[in-house]
Amino acid sequence: MTIEVSLEVMLKGIDLVADKAFLTLRGKMGYQDNLLAIKRLDAFAFRFDTGNPPETLSRLKRLLNTQTLFYNRNKHNFSLRCRWEGGGLEEGVPVDHCHRQLETQARRTLAGVSSENLRSIGSETRVMLKNVPVFRTEVVVENLDPSVKSGLSQKLETELSTAPVVVATLGTMWHLALRVATRGEAEALTRQIVITERRDRGFLLNPNYQGFRLLATESMELVE
């Protein structure tokens, strides 16, 4: 039976790397009108075949709980999803946890408020938030060197006592909230923000040794 595993890891506290990226992109690169929020996660996805799913999943959970291969439980939150034919497993924070944080940051940027509670926002601001077109894009940045994924594969094969383990994703996931009119504009702006081409254009990826995949583009509602 094939089991597909998706693991996303995020800091519990302030993410200084994401904060620096946000301030640099808005303050020094001219994206202050379009970039409303940014969030960063570590993303892993892999799959393997096993004849004993309960035992293999038990090994996986023990690996996550006792080692720092993926995260430190004292410093990080995580979202774990496992899927197989006829079943599944979810642990950690909800899958949409990062989406809600992104919406809050975007709302604060647009409205200029520090509170997450919209009851403190006036009616005019609520109308503005409702009418501003905002898109969420999701990208994963990965090292182009195949040995990076193969190293994780070998480690997992040893720990899970199963082989092969195919690592599909191993990189940094970025969620961006963008103030643009259309989905096409959101995707074009995402590429511009992600790929470093010169000092004042692009910040999240070095094309000399990294690549990226655009995973999702969705319209955001900042006011219910």
| pLDDT tens string 10-50 | 999 999 999 999 999 999 999 999 999 999 999 999 999 98
Mean pLDDT score, 94-113: 86
Q: How many domains does the chain have?
A: 1
pLDDT in tens, 128-171: 666 789 999 999 999 999 999 999 999 999 988 888 999 999 99
Rounded to whole angstroms, how far apart are CA atoms 145 and 47? 20
State whether residue 76 is helix, strand or coil. strand
Q: Which domain holds residue 50?
A: 2-220
pLDDT of residue 129: 66
Would you state the structure tokens that stand for residue 67, as one six-digit string? 């080692």
Strand order in the sheet with 134-143: 87-92, 76-84, 2-11, 35-49, 165-179, 134-143, 210-220
Percentage of the chain beyond pLDDT 90 is 67
Which among 67, 68, 94, 72 is positioned nearest to 81, based on CA atoms?
94
CB 177 within 8 A of CB 219: no
pLDDT in tens, 189-212: 999 999 998 888 899 999 999 999
Residue 172 has pLDDT above 60, yes or no: yes
Rounded to whole angstroms, how far apart are CA atoms 215 and 224? 25
Strand residues in the chain grouped as ranges (E):
2-11, 35-49, 76-84, 87-92, 134-143, 165-179, 210-220
> Is-above-0.85 flag for pTM?
yes
